Structure 1
Amino acid sequence: MRRRSLLHLAGATLASALFHHTSAEANMNTQTHPYVGMWVTEDGHVRHELLPNGRYDEARGARKSAYQGRYAVTGNHIDYWDDTGFTADGDFIDGVLHHGGMILYREP
């Protein structure tokens, strides 16, 4: 019985450590770069919101939250990791986001 209690305690400790690490990581990764906000294609079909918590939410046409995931900005380069496992990247050039063959403009 003692072994089972120790395993339970170890599991709870590990779960707690992972939760606190993830929470701390999320707080540390709060994005403060100037690219946080909404980016849209000229026709408004694709709306790509870069959230300050390092997540993004992309809408396509009438489909809200068509794609979601995390992102990281290094200089003028952005890397995306979609929640489904898809990866992509892009570059901010002269205030315009070039991503996946699309050109997105900052929404005022």
Structure 2
Amino acid sequence: MRHVFAFLITATLFAQTAQAEDITMQPHHPYTGLWVTDDGHVRHELLPSGRYIEARGTRERAYEGRYEVSGQHIEYWDDTGFTADGDFVDADTLHHGGMVLRRR
């Protein structure tokens, strides 16, 4: 039992450290904020910390993880290991996974 407890503490500290490193890795960019498909089904919130939250339908936290923007390209790394990317077409339009999201 003692080893399990020590493992859980170590895993928690590692996750917190990784998350803190993610925050410092994201440079400032103009695309933070909420991005939504025209039907409102998919919603991406790009946080200034370099983290994102994706809502789908009634699932407010369907996916979340970190992201990085390089120029007009965005890369996503979900906390479960899933990866995705997209491109900002202009200041108000994001193409991602066959979807078009607009700034709100």
Which residue in 2 is equivalent to 1:103? 100
- Supply the RMSD in Å over aligned alpha carbons: 2.3
Q: What is the number of residues matched between the two proteins?
A: 91
CA gap 1:64/1:35 in 2 versus in 1, 3 angstroms: same
Q: TM-score, normalising length from structure 1?
A: 0.74
1:66 and 2:62 matched = yes
Distance 1:30 1:77 in 2: 13
Distance 1:47 1:70 in 2: 15
Of structures 1 and 2, the one with the larger relative CO (CA 8 A, separation 6+) is: 2
Q: TM-score, normalising length from structure 2?
A: 0.77
* Deviating 4+ runs (over 3 angstroms): none
**2:85 aligned counterpart, secondary structure:** strand
1:79-103 deviation per Cα after TM superposition (whole angstroms, max 9, x unaligned) = 0001111100000002310000110
* Unpaired stretches in structure 1, ≥5 consecutive residues: 1-14
Q: Is residue 42–residue 54 contact of structure 2 (8 Å, CA) maintained in 1?
A: yes
* Unpaired stretches in structure 2, ≥5 consecutive residues: 1-12
Aligned-residue identity in percent: 64
What aligned pairs does 1:12-27 form with structure 2 within 5 A after superposition?
19=17, 23=20, 25-27=21-23
1:33-55 deviation per Cα after TM superposition (whole angstroms, max 9, x unaligned) = 10000000001111100011111
Q: Is residue 24–residue 49 contact of structure 2 (8 Å, CA) maintained in 1?
A: no
